[in-house]
Amino acid sequence: MNFIDKTLKFCTINNDKIDSKSEDFHKTIIFNFFSFISLILLSIFITIGIFQKNTFLIIVLAFLFTTITVNVVLFRKIYNYILASNIFSIIFSIFMLWLLYSGIVNNQGIILIAFYPIITNYLLGKKRGNISSLVFFVLSGIAVLLPNIFSLTLVFSLTNQVLFVLLYFAFVIFLNMYENIINLRIAEMNEKIESAKKETLAKEEFISKISHQIRTPLNNLVVVTNIVNNSDLDEKQKDLIDTIQASTNNLVNVVNNIAEISNVDLLQSKDYNQDFNLETTVKNTLNLFSDENSDDLQFPIEISKDINFLIFGDPVKIKQVYLNLIENILKRTKSGANSIGIKIKKLSESNNIVEVLFNISTDMEQISEITKIQNTEKTKKGRNAAIAKLLDFNIGMRIIESLGGSIDFNLSQDAFEVNFILKFKKGESLLLDIKRSKEFALPEIKPEGKINLKDANILLVEDNLINQKIVLLSLKKTVKSIEVANNGKEALDKFGSAKFDVILMDIQMPIMNGIVTTKKIRSIEKSTNTHTPIIAITANALLGDKEECLAAGMDDYISKPFQIETLINKMEQQIA
């Protein structure tokens, strides 16, 4: 690190409470630099004054030193840049005028006074800096150009007077030109960024549509190929089907890779802001992992009792964060018992805004390579970057940042923690735990005895005739009966007239899509205290699609193309 970098780092100390993207952040660096340079120069001049035994000069300089120091300390306490810059500019202006009118400045020193606009324009900005420079020029110009008015002892030569005026206004004009050029460049860059965002969004929408269109027929190829492959074939036919199956599987991987690298920007994604129960949202998300993993996996959860109210926000994004973080932790844990602790507590509450701390922790020994990061990365910033890369936390980090929060990783000798803080609007209170559980917990399934999949009645909600035939062909020997609904409206009609053990729900349908249909079914079930498992079967496989389905009330999600055995396993899990 060179001298300039070290100076910049020193002037950035304690600026963490100011947004690094704001204009004030960069101005605070300049403010700190000018303040520190002033303190150094004043210290030197005070030392010189002590040797010269100039008591009056020492008192003036010591007063300036104390005032600038107090201003810096005050700024680092309250982080009010406008106040701090105004105080420094006033002190600097008074000091410069005192040097002029007291006769301390000589003919060569007048050139230094001409640099005044540079300091004030950087500190105060273009508009306030120009006003300050104009006022200072009038006050200083009297001493320089008209010293006889105040009977000043120091008279500047005509050459120095002309040089002072020319330099002063040259700096003012240059700074204004420079500011205009910078603003023009920034405007051009912002325009290019907006254009690039629009192009990227258009490409992502195109890829999303193509992915959806490819997945549906590809799913049919996978299912039909598996069915044919299980039938009686001669050796040549078997070889041909195997070739088709291998090629189809490769195509599946290609489509999955396209979906993975073309995820829509989270900042551009839909918002589902609403009043929701934070505890229920988190617990329902954790239940997804309990169903998918072994009994060894545990999620001890601790939610502070003072969060006894609904919060207004986006439950889908909260689920996305937990899905992303926990999925990636589990991918890299060693085999055996796993425990991931969840803690949620209220940090503060002001003007109906609640600040909530989310903590996810696990034993550090369970995560491979964490110990290596602990030993090699000495700085907190380096450890955070290394952990984010190792555990692929990019999605979770971007979601948290889009909600106005930040994520932090903490490592100790025996534990690994993820912390993030988010702010929400406070909703209505939940006064009683009984009311809380009844009103916001998922409806309980009425016990009607164990159901085998071969005895189950299935409702297939699908608008594509070919897809209907494929699913019917695949499941006809596995389940008792399958009813078909061509859209969400038909599904609601059939749901109201018959009982189904599992609903297979497509998402994109005419008249009424799968998301709306699921919400209406869940609304109906609240009054009957029943719960029918709903599995989303969709070609929507981009970022957020799974979370959107789960947030709507679906129990599971499977994206096309899929193996029929995977669908059967999910159906069996839901029935069980």
How do residues 170-208 score in pLDDT, each as one tens digit? 989 998 898 889 889 988 998 988 888 888 777 777 776
Distance CA 83, CA 71 (A): 9
Tokens 């540079």 -> residue: 118
Phi, psi of 26 (to 5 degrees): -70, -35
Q: Hey, which residues does 276 pair with through a beta bridge?
A: 311
Question: Which H/E stretch holds residue 339?
Answer: strand 338-350
pLDDT digits (tens, 9 = 90+) for 280-304: 878 877 776 665 445 567 788 888 8
Q: How confident is residue 358, by pLDDT bands cut at 50, 70 and 90?
A: very high
pLDDT digits (tens, 9 = 90+) for 473-512: 888 888 888 999 998 999 999 998 888 999 999 888 888 8
**DSSP class of 333:** B
Of 105-119, 208-222, 523-537, 539-553, where does the model show the most confidence? 523-537
Amino acid making up residue 302: E
Q: Rounded to an integer, what is the distance from CA 336 to the centroid of its chain?
A: 32
**Looking at the predicted structure, is the pLDDT value of residue 388 above 60?**
yes
* pLDDT value of residue 269: 44
Q: How confident is residue 439, by pLDDT bands cut at 50, 70 and 90?
A: very low
Least Cα distance to 101 among 59, 153, 34, 159 occurs for 153
Q: Rounded to an integer, what is the distance from CA 402 to the centroid of its chain?
A: 4
Distance CA 380, CA 384 (A): 6
Mean pLDDT throughout 342-354?
Answer: 87
Q: How confident is residue 451, by pLDDT bands cut at 50, 70 and 90?
A: confident
Mean pLDDT throughout 6-11?
Answer: 65
The residues, ordered by sequence, that sit 6+ positions from 387 with a Cβ below 8 Å of its Cβ are 370, 373, 393, 409, 411
- Exposure on the CB side of residue 1, measured as CA atoms within 13 A: 7
What's the pTM?
Answer: 0.42
∠ at Cα 66 (60, 71), nearest 5°? 125
Write down all domains in the chain, each with its CATH number in brackets: 3-193 (no CATH), 270-438 (3.30.565.10), 453-575 (3.40.50.2300)
Q: How confident is residue 517, by pLDDT bands cut at 50, 70 and 90?
A: very high
Q: How far is CA 388 from CA 263, 358, 409, in A?
A: 18, 17, 9
Phi, psi of 481 (to 5 degrees): -155, 155
pLDDT digits (tens, 9 = 90+) for 113-158: 888 898 888 888 888 889 999 999 998 888 888 877 777 777 778 8
Neighbours of 421 (CB within 10 A): 17
Q: Which two tokens stand for residue 94?
A: 């008074």
Distance CA 142, CA 149 (A): 8
Distance CA 558, CA 514 (A): 14
Distance CA 96, CA 88 (A): 12
